[in-house]
């Protein structure tokens, strides 16, 4: 067998993909997989969607690439208008990029340049949550709170001030209100140590993605953050790279709680897996201040090219034309009920949480103490591997800062039908039954397992 020059992360050999259609993918040996996590929560319209193909071919025949300092292009203008419209005008300006990390990094630089332009260059720090994921480039990684990803680069990254986020599953504050009050007061306390006038922005994911397994916020939390930002004069940034563009059933996740940010990042589902396209959305005064002071000193070659933007437009139009936000809500409810039924059946499913078609399933060795399984058991990768054997793709991570805890995301394409959702749940049940027999019962019978288990909380 020839050894491929490709390298990604360490991991087992993977099947070679042949083709996809709708929510299904097939490998070159003919095995079928239901794409229960939309690739990396990005193929939101499934595979080989004819509307995307048509729009992309039409744009390819016209022009694929022009550069933003030489030409304006229609798709970019229209996509920017569509994005503003999707926020009901709460965000007014748009800057295009090609990935989520670029979107986050661009938001960081825009926020910093805003304060330089408005005479507050002493603002140097960002505040973000632990755990969280905001991207892999050095700036975005500085915001990310996920220990294994941070560790090799800690010495060369401008890390943010890390504060806890809401954790309605593991909180020990009594009520949700008390929990939010404590999280906000810890956030404030840490900011006060650094000095409120040194903060550029607080950055959060309104619905957590891979790093937290779909953790939610609530209105009181967002309102509290908004007030804190306004009080100390910093910006509020929502990272909706994963949860934006319909994933949670509204165009943007923050709209469930009605507290708008100053900047918003999005990517992944914007190109729906057909072409890389992301964006930073901003309130106008921030952009105006930067533009009046020499312009935004930032940009990427492929940003806002016609093919990228035509793809993004086609994705948004398809969501509108096929009324897919309604389907996200309906199938999301079906998925929720199905996952909760599995939780009843397997006592090691500690929590099922999410919104729309973004669901996290957290595994614990003891549902009462919420103790995690031993980290070295790597349940998060095992459950994913077994599900894949059963013809289902899910998305795994560790729940507690990347060092312990196991969860996976279930986040199928918005186009999934009722019958396909039933099939997803059937395949998941088969996988979990096998996990129970082949791995968990063995772990639980091992006398030393509890000694290794960690009770750390996030």
- Can you read off the two tokens belonging to residue 11? 């991991």
Q: How far is the CB of 267 from ligand PMP (least distance, A)?
A: 5
- Assess contact for 100 and 265: CB atoms under 8 A: yes
**Cβ within 8 Å of residue 53, ≥6 positions away:** none
Largest CA distance in the chain: 68
- 135 binding ligand PMP? (CB under 6 A): yes
Identify the residue among 87, 101, 266, 311 touching ligand PMP (CB under 6 A). 101
41 vs 435, beta carbon nearer ligand PMP: 41
Identify the residue among 242, 324, 357, 435 touching ligand PMP (CB under 6 A). 242
Identify the residue among 100, 206, 360, 412 touching ligand PMP (CB under 6 A). 100
39 vs 391, beta carbon nearer ligand PMP: 39
- 354 binding ligand PMP? (CB under 6 A): no
- Can you read off the two tokens belonging to residue 30? 């003919």
Map the footprint of ligand PMP across residues 200-219, applying CB under 6 A. Answer: 205, 209-210
Closest CA to 311 of 267, 255, 271: 271
Region from 100-108, 123-131, 156-164, 165-173 binding ligand PMP, contact rule CB under 6 A: 100-108
- 353 binding ligand PMP? (CB under 6 A): no
CA–CA distances in Å: residue 373 to residues 83, 112, 171, 210, 349: 42, 41, 19, 18, 11
102 vs 406, beta carbon nearer ligand PMP: 102
Query: Pattern 56-95, binding to ligand PMP, x per CB under 6 A?
Result: ----------------------------------------
Q: How far is the CB of 433 from ligand PMP (least distance, A)?
A: 29
Identify the residue among 267, 339, 425, 431 touching ligand PMP (CB under 6 A). 267
Closest CA to 383 of 421, 344, 422, 348: 348
Identify the residue among 38, 73, 87, 99 touching ligand PMP (CB under 6 A). 99
Q: Are strands 278-282 and 93-97 parallel, antiparallel or unpaired?
A: antiparallel
- 105 binding ligand PMP? (CB under 6 A): no
Query: Which residue number has the CB closest to ligand PMP?
Result: 100
Q: Is the bond preceding residue 131 a cis peptide, omega within 30 degrees?
A: yes
Identify the residue among 163, 216, 234, 241 touching ligand PMP (CB under 6 A). 241
Q: How many residues bind ligand PMP (CB under 6 A)?
A: 14
133 vs 414, beta carbon nearer ligand PMP: 133
- The pairs formed by 15-22 with CB atoms below 8 angstroms and a separation of 24 or more are 19/47, 19/48, 20/46, 20/47, 20/48, 21/46, 21/47, 21/48, 22/46, 22/47, 22/48, 22/413, 22/415, 22/420
Angle at 352 between CA 443 and CA 454, to 5 degrees: 40
- Can you read off the two tokens belonging to residue 15? 């099947």
- Which value, in Å, is the radius of gyration of the alpha carbons in the chain? 22
- 308 binding ligand PMP? (CB under 6 A): no
Q: Given CA atoms 5, 8, 11, 13 in this order, what sign does their dihedral have?
A: negative
209 vs 338, beta carbon nearer ligand PMP: 209
Closest CA to 326 of 417, 215, 391, 249: 249
- Assess contact for 131 and 142: CB atoms under 8 A: no
Burial 149-168 (b: 16+ CB within 10 A, else e): ebeeeeeebebbbbbbbbbe
Q: How far is the CB of 211 from ligand PMP (least distance, A)?
A: 8
- 104 binding ligand PMP? (CB under 6 A): yes
228 vs 242, beta carbon nearer ligand PMP: 242
Region from 194-202, 237-245, 348-356, 362-370 binding ligand PMP, contact rule CB under 6 A: 237-245
CA–CA distances in Å: residue 134 to residues 39, 99, 253, 297, 412: 18, 11, 16, 21, 21
130 vs 134, beta carbon nearer ligand PMP: 134
116 vs 149, beta carbon nearer ligand PMP: 149
Closest CA to 42 of 238, 206, 245, 212: 245
203 vs 425, beta carbon nearer ligand PMP: 203
- 133 binding ligand PMP? (CB under 6 A): yes
86 vs 440, beta carbon nearer ligand PMP: 86
Beta-bridged to residue 456, according to DSSP, are none
Q: How far is the CB of 13 from ligand PMP (least distance, A)?
A: 23
Q: How far is the CB of 438 from ligand PMP (least distance, A)?
A: 29
Q: Which residues bind ligand PMP (CB under 6 A)?
A: 99-101, 104, 133-135, 205, 209-210, 239, 241-242, 267
């Amino acid at each position: 067998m020839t050894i491929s020059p490709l390298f990604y992360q360490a991991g087992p050999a993977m099947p070679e993909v042949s083709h996809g259609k709708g929510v299904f993918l097939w490998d070159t040996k003919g095995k079928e997989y239901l794409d229960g996590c939309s690739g990396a929560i990005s193929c939101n319209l499934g595979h080989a969607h004819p509307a995307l193909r048509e729009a992309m071919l039409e744009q390819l025949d016209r022009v694929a690439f022009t550069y933003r300092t030489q030409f304006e292009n229609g798709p970019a203008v229209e996509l920017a208008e569509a994005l503003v419209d999707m926020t009901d005008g709460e965000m007014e300006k748009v800057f295009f990029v090609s990935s989520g990390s670029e979107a986050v990094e661009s938001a960081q630089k825009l926020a910093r340049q805003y304060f330089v332009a408005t005479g507050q260059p002493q603002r140097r720090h960002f505040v973000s949550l632990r755990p969280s994921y905001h991207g892999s480039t050095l700036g975005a990684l500085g915001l990310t709170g996920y220990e294994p990803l941070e560790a090799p680069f800690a010495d060369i990254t401008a890390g943010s001030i890390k504060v806890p986020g809401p954790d309605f599953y593991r909180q020990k504050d009594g009520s949700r209100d008390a929990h939010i009050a404590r999280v906000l007061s810890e956030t404030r306390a840490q900011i006060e140590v650094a000095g409120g006038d040194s903060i550029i922005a607080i950055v959060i994911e309104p619905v957590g993605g891979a790093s937290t397994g779909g953790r939610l916020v609530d209105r009181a939390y967002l309102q509290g953050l908004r007030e804190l930002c306004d009080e100390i004069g910093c910006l509020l940034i929502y990272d909706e790279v994963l949860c934006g563009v319909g994933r949670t059933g509204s165009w943007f996740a923050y709209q469930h709680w009605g507290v708008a940010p100053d900047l918003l990042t999005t990517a992944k589902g914007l190109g729906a897996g057909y072409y890389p396209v992301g964006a930073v959305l901003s309130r106008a005064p921030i952009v105006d201040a930067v533009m009046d002071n020499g312009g935004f000193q930032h940009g990427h070659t492929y940003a806002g090219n016609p093919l990228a933007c035509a793809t993004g437009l086609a994705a948004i139009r398809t969501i509108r034309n096929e009324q897919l936000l309604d389907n996200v809500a309906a199938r999301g409810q079906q998925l929720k009920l199905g996952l909760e039924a599995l939780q009843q059946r397997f006592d090691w499913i500690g929590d099922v949480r999410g919104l729309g078609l973004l669901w996290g399933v957290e595994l614990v060795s003891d549902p009462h103490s919420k103790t995690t399984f031993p980290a070295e058991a790597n349940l998060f990768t095992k459950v994913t591997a077994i599900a894949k054997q059963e013809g289902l793709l899910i998305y795994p991570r560790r729940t507690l800062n990347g060092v312990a805890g196991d969860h996976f995301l279930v986040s199928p394409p918005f186009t999934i039908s009722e019958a396909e959702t039933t099939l997803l749940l059937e395949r998941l049940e088969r996988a979990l039954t096998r996990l129970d027999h082949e791995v968990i019962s063995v772990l639980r019978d091992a006398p030393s397992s509890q000694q290794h288990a960690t009770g750390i909380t996030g």
